[in-house]
Amino acid sequence: MQYLSEDLAKDLPKGDSFQNLQAMEGKVYRDVQGRKTLQFELAGKSYFIKNHFGVGWREIVKNLVQLRMPILGAENEWRAISKLKSLGLATMTSMAYGSRGWNPARKQSLIVTEDLAGTISLEDYCKDWRQNPPEFVLKQKLLSKLASISRTLHQGGVCHRDFYLCHFLMPKDCLDGSSDQAFELFIIDLHRALIKNSLGMRWIIKDVSGLLYSAMDIGLTQRDFFRFIKTYDDMNLRDSLAYNGAFWGSVEKRALSMQKKLGSVS
């Protein structure tokens, strides 16, 4: 194991930690070719584990032909979690990371994170906003928080690449919009995150348009979108549209294209 937290290590059976973790059983959330995500409990604590079993040469070649860097295992998420922590963003807490094998097509790896219990995804929380609008104060807090997180992420050189409402978790005890208590939004599912010294504009557009697409059917108003734009650009709306109008036009165009191609998120 390249990393194993003391809290998790003390509760694991004696022996090969990698094999013990890989053999954990629990509630399966995702099971696709080469990767399996499940929730398990150990010593009364809840964790999530992503097991990677190798992507195969076909997937590697396909990515290289498309000029994409293939994601070979859990290391990318491990690095992304560390990067987000360094940017001061709330995300998962790594409890274990390990990899085995030298063949990139068959390399096995895993990452274990603490269960972010007591949270709800923004996709689930916002899905009935059109029929049951949220409290005004809470909605504005969420919009400002999302925009601020997005700006920090992109200025820090990170493109999530699956930047949708479902990948933001909100503590349930913050659902009372009248509370002045500060709250965090946890960013999850960093499996495909791209980390660079400086992001190209196409990557930023990809992220922001994905977020817009995932929020297009929850009943937001034009003023809501303008609030997001002002916070993201950290300037007044007039200047934002004057200096970054082309960027926001590209974001809207891509989001509408996604909606036409993929349909409604819900």
**Which of 148, 151, 184 is CA-nearest to residue 168?**
184
**pLDDT, tens only, 206-265:** 999 999 999 999 999 999 999 999 999 999 999 999 999 999 999 999 999 999 988 766
**CA max distance for the chain:** 63
pTM beyond 0.95: the answer is no
Instruction: Quote the DSSP letter at residue 206.
Output: H
CA dist 201 → 55, 107, 170, 248 (Å): 29, 32, 28, 11
Domains of the chain: 3-114 (3.30.200), 119-262 (1.10.510.10)
Please confirm, yes or no, whether 173 is among the known catalytic residues. no
pLDDT of the residue at 181: 57
Q: Among residues 162, 207, 217, 234, which one is catalytic? A: 162
- Amino acid symbol at 69: M
Cα 135 to Cα 125: distance, rounded to the nearest angstrom:
12
**pLDDT, tens only, 26-74:** 999 999 888 999 999 999 999 999 999 988 888 878 878 877 777 889 9
